[in-house]
Chains A and B, each alone.
Chain A
Amino acid sequence: MKIIIAGSGEVGYYLAQLLEPKYRDIVMIDAEKEKLRLVEKELGIATVTGDSTSYTTLMDAGITKADLLISVTSNEAANLTTCIIGKKLGAKFTIARISNMEYLKSRSILDLKDLGIDDLISPESLAAREIKKVLKTPVITETMDISGGALSLFGVNLDEDAGIINKAISETSSMIPDNSFMVVAVHRKSETIIPNGKTVLQRGDQLYFVSTPDKKEKVLEYAGKKSIQIKNVMIIGGSRTGKYTAMKLSELYNVKLIEKDPDRCNYLAKLIPKVQIVNGDGTDIHLLNEEHLAQYDAIISVTGNSETNIFTSMISKEAGVKKTIAMVDNLGLVDYLHKIGIDTFLNKKIAAANFIFQTIHKGSELSHLYGINAEIHEFFVNEKSRLIHKSIKELSIPENAIFIGVVRNNKGFITLGNFKLEAGDSALVLTLPENIHKISSIFK
């Protein structure tokens, strides 16, 4: 599979980094030679310098044989043009990054597919969608739908008062009704552990659960979490992410948005209904107090600067805000940030990458999680498979991997050892990256 990525910005770079180990044949296009030199050095992939809307540049990148063209520059018009031209020149599938939501929402007026753009992606809007989900159940730190929502995966931080602390998972099974959920990963002291029955849970563990969508509440009970009701939300930073977040949240909560640039404030004030826009610096403690920071249930820091976001989250925690969400670019910080109390992180690169992964290979690799070193893979059991009628314990799943469930007729099941596979099932496995080849061979 040959992949061309136009734009070596944050999203482009991260995508290349994720795709490179699996596909190798990746070409990156960017107008800036310096950036590409770095890409070549760090990722070892081929690069073409030039404007991605130019025929020559695309030809040089090998567009005629490309299976996938992803245009993720920061310029929407350029992305659309690149995909339209790229498709005509031979790319089999094209994905464009957009910022104007009309293209997604108003397909009845003009579907960009007709022009040759097969899929659209807006990292900022995906990030906003994630925020909305997290705020619905604020005690969880991260959430993700699997197989279009048949199962959900989410993270919870174990506080000291949780009843399951210092117990092995097998001891807590009485608290899990009808096999409706399971612990699939434990993140402890910068290390990701795939648990088994003997794993003992400790204070400060970050637990990852998979459950059927209707049993989320039971999981929270299990983890000793009291639910928090969110009413007032403050967003710091009126960047694209801030804008989409405010738009999505304004229907559900009282939202106040703080933005430094007065012109941007005016733009947002005209655009977004029901949201109170305040012109000011989100790191100015005096201003935050003046805007009654302590009265807010959730603070979402999404300025373009990670340090600012971390800083305002810390101030908010200090002031007693129950939920803080910060947009952080550097994922290396995640462990440290958990310790200082920032509970949820946001990273539009990951949001975008997950989305693209799901788009380009429906049926094998699925998702990456924030901060932890594990992947979820989906395998399809076809009619000729030798796995039909086998139970899960017969599959000999290796250590550091866990069989988390099955999607059958669009319905998700949490599976135990004696669950038998059938033709048409989608099997879901969570694994540390080193096991992926072993797992793949089981399902071959």
Chain B
Amino acid sequence: MNADLYRKTTHIKLIFKQIGGLLIVLGYAMIVPMLVALIYTEVYSALGFLLSGMISLGLGYTSYKGIRSIEDISGHHALVIAALGWFAVVVMGAVPYTLIAFITPEEAAMRFIPDGADFGSSLWYFKNPLHAIFDSMSGFTTTGLSMAIHEPTIGKGLLFYRHYTQLLGGAGFVVLTLALLKQSSGKIAYLLYGSESTGERLQSTILETARSIWKVYIGLTVFSFVFLVVGTLIILPDYSFTENIFDSINHAMAGQSTGGFSTLDDSIAGYQSVWMEALYLVPMILGALSLTFYFRVIQERKFSYFWKDIQTRSILILTIAGSIVLSMMLMATGYISEPFRVGTFQFVSALTTTGWQTTDVHQWDSGSILFISLIGMVIGGAYGSTVGGIKMIRVLLIFKGLFWQINNIFSSDRSVKVVKFNGKRLLPEEMNKDIALVATFVFFYLVLLMTGTLISYYTMGEGFELKHALFESASAQGTVGLSCGISHPGMSPGLEITYILQMWAGRLEIIPVLVLFRSVFAGTKPKIV
């Protein structure tokens, strides 16, 4: 009788053991922001990170060491682990926000506010755990939407932590865990790796693959950091050097992960320099290219891949073409000042799903908002990078499929209708299979986007139109982070939860989330639908 129950509990144990692993990594990761808080003598923040880290480690070790290893894992487990694991990490990652908001005394927080400002510290918003989860989700999924209205007023420690979560979430928290914790079996590692949509296998073992991805990722982040420090020194020689270092570290993490948090109150616009905006295009575009692609370029030392790889090439072309089109559209409105500066920066920010914002999108016309939402934020950057959205390779595949279908009508019945895609020739059945998978995903993506848009439309409050609902929803689901003002501490909790779910589903490419729901509500038995 109890075979079924036994099976169920082993599955749950297996899932919890793996989630425990994620929490251990998160716990140790808290050491870094704690040190940063100490450097800036923010004692309460440091204490907050210490406590949060200990909680995370406690829970993590209990379930990771407490549950003995189980080898019997299948595909749906891995997807459930990814979905649930991400949620657990986000919730545990929200603890420091709330904890620090509660333990920091008023006087200590006064230090964070610039002299003569007419606003208080945004830290207090995080006394509401939902806001904390919102920002934590926004961080780990590399979105960049925030409940902190004036970001710098939450203290350097927490400010660093926010960017740091984007770095951790960017290349995949599960992949990070795989790189750091030795898995008991190759099969578990293999299935977990596949569950987070990071890209193809690069090395013979998953452990090596995960490490390679993280090495490339960290390498690029360091490159961005140096690039930004030097660039800022040249463009703004009077800017404080220590601030430059702090900004560049954080922005390099937020840029490479295409996260889009910023240490400045007005994001990159805070520098008030067109050259700084041009400088920041580089980390965004670097972040939107596939990590596995970089790995190949580095390994084979062939820079021609930047043009030969169809996905990279398409992103570079779309970056330029889209920037021009958006700029023209903004110019056509007649009331947007500096349309080319704004258009270029915002389109790149949207397509790369970074989310650094230099303008008030709220006042844009419907055409421009529709364009940046659908062409920029819904498409997104490269598969295998840290971006959100449908991702370029899928868009290309669908277009290829369209041309293929039309062309097939002209060839004879008996000919083998092979199709060339990204340097590979695919047989009809392979192509059909790929198209079916991609089309299903895109359809789900759009359904979820529409649902989010409708919920936004009915709950977003005064002063917004349908175009804003679409924009904000596309931004959350595409893990972009551009905002037209709907995301705000005063927003309705229902909509806040909707965006949290959209960010979560968007980061994991929906399927793991659907598998989780299916497992919870309909069990794990195979069914004919």
Q: Which of B148-156, B409-417, B473-481 contacts A (4 or more CB under 8 A)?
A: B409-417
- B224 CB to closest chain A CB (Å) equals 37
Across-interface contacts of B415 in A (CB, < 8 A): 256, 276-279
Please, how many angstroms separate the alpha-carbon atoms of A258 and B411 in the complex? 14
Given contacts A269-B418, A270-B418, A273-B420, contact A278 B425 (CB under 8 A): no
> Which B residue's beta carbon lies closest to that of A276?
B415
Assembly CA distance A46 to B426 (angstroms): 50
Q: Does A114 contact B (CB under 8 A)?
A: no
Measured between C-beta atoms, what is the minimum distance from A270 to chain B in Å? 5
Q: Does A150 contact B (CB under 8 A)?
A: no
Chain A CB within 10 Å, residue with most, of B411, B418, B420? B418
Q: Which of B417-434 contact A (CB under 8 A)?
A: 418, 420, 425-427
Q: Is A265 an interface residue (CB 8 A)?
A: yes
Which residue in B411, B413, B426, B427 is a CB contact (below 8 Å) of A276?
B411
Cross-chain contact A277 with B418 (CB below 8 angstroms): yes
Task: Report how far A256 CA is from B426 CA in the complex, Å.
Answer: 18
Tell me the nearest residue of chain B to A291, going by C-beta. B412
Q: Which of A255-283 contact B (CB under 8 A)?
A: 256, 265-266, 268-271, 273, 276-280
B418 engages A278 (CB within 8 Å): no
A269 touches which of B412, B413, B427 (Cβ 8 Å): B427
Return chain B residues, CB-CB under 8 Å to A269.
416, 418, 425, 427
A273 and B416 form a contact (CB under 8 A):
no
- The chain A residue with its CB closest to the CB of B430 is A270
Q: Measured between alpha carbons, how far is A265 from B429 in the docked complex, in Å? A: 13
Cβ 8 A contact of B416, one of A265, A287, A290, A291: A265
Q: Is there contact, CB below 8 Å, between B427 and A278? A: no
A290 touches which one: B412, B418, B427 (CB < 8 A)? B412
Contact of B414 among A266, A271, A279 (CB under 8 A): A279
* CA distance in complex: A256, B414 (Å): 12
| A339 smallest CB distance to B (angstroms) | 33
How many Å lie between the Cα of A265 and that of B412 in the bound state? 15
Cβ–Cβ < 8 Å partners of B426 in chain A: 270
Tell me if B411 and A287 are in contact (CB < 8 A): no
B77 to chain A, nearest CB (A): 34
- Interfacial chain A residues near B414, Cβ < 8 Å: 278-280, 287, 290-291
Tell me the complex Cα distance, A270–B419, Å. Answer: 9
* Chain B hits for A265, CB < 8 A: 416
In chain B, positions 78-111 with a C-beta closer than 8 Å to chain A are none
Choose among A256, A266, A273, A280 the residue that contacts B427 (Cβ–Cβ < 8 A).
Answer: A266
**Can you list, as one digit per residue, whether each of B58-84 has a CB less than 8 Å from chain A (1) or not (0)?**
000000000000000000000000000
Q: How far is the CB of A256 from chain B (nearest CB, A)?
A: 8
Chain B residues with CB under 8 Å of A271's CB are 425
Q: Determine the chain A residues whose CB is within 8 A of the CB of B418 once the complex forms.
A: 269-270, 277
Report chain A residues within 8 Å CB of B427. Answer: 266, 269-270
B416 near A279 (CB under 8 angstroms)?
A: yes
Query: Chain B residue with minimal CB distance to A268?
Result: B416
**Which residues from A are CB-within-8-Å of B411?**
276
Query: Can you sample 10 A-B contacts with CB below 8 Å?
Result: A265-B416, A266-B416, A266-B427, A270-B418, A270-B425, A276-B411, A276-B415, A277-B416, A279-B414, A291-B414
Given A269-B416, A279-B416, 14 more pairs with CB closer than 8 A: A256-B415, A269-B427, A270-B418, A270-B425, A271-B425, A273-B425, A276-B411, A276-B415, A279-B414, A279-B415, A287-B414, A290-B413, A290-B414, A291-B412
**The 8 residue pairs across chains A and B that have the minimum distance between CB atoms:** A269-B418, A277-B416, A269-B416, A278-B415, A280-B414, A270-B425, A278-B414, A265-B416
